[in-house]
Amino acid sequence: MSNFITRIFSKFLGNKNESDLKLITPVVGQVATAYEVISKLSNDELRGKTAEFKQRIAKHIEAETTEIAAMRSQIEERPDMDIEEKERLFVEIDRLEKDKYKKFRKCWAIFCPKPFR
């Protein structure tokens, strides 16, 4: 009886395999397209692309990285700093780290081919 009900539902709703295939098929096509472009690059060209991406991302998050480093050095240089001031700086560092991560993800979405995000 339950097998009969399962077959009826699968006829109307489709089965899990079919829905997975519908979801994955476009991504497979995108990966194949990206592979065609990437496979034509030599190892040195791939290394160059990697360095280019790293440089572009580092430039995009440079302001946050510099500000975080300055705050950390300020904390290290003043071990007698008031605890509330340290806490304020650490909270600000956490906020900047989150902003930096969001910017990184945005850059990644721009530079990286869609199937590899």
Contact 70, 96 (CB under 8 A): no
pLDDT tens readout for residues 6-61: 777 666 666 777 778 888 888 888 888 888 888 898 999 888 888 888 898 899 99
Asked whether the predicted pLDDT for residue 115 surpasses 60, the reply is no
Asked whether the predicted pLDDT for residue 70 surpasses 60, the reply is yes
Q: What tokens were used for 18?
A: 């079919």
In sequence order, which residues have a C-beta less than 8 Å from that of residue 109 and are 6 or more positions away? 117
pLDDT, averaged across the chain: 85
Alpha carbon of 43 to those of 40, 46, 112: distances in Å? 10, 5, 18
**Domain spans, the chain:** 1-40, 43-117
- The band of 114, judged by pLDDT with boundaries at 50, 70 and 90, is low
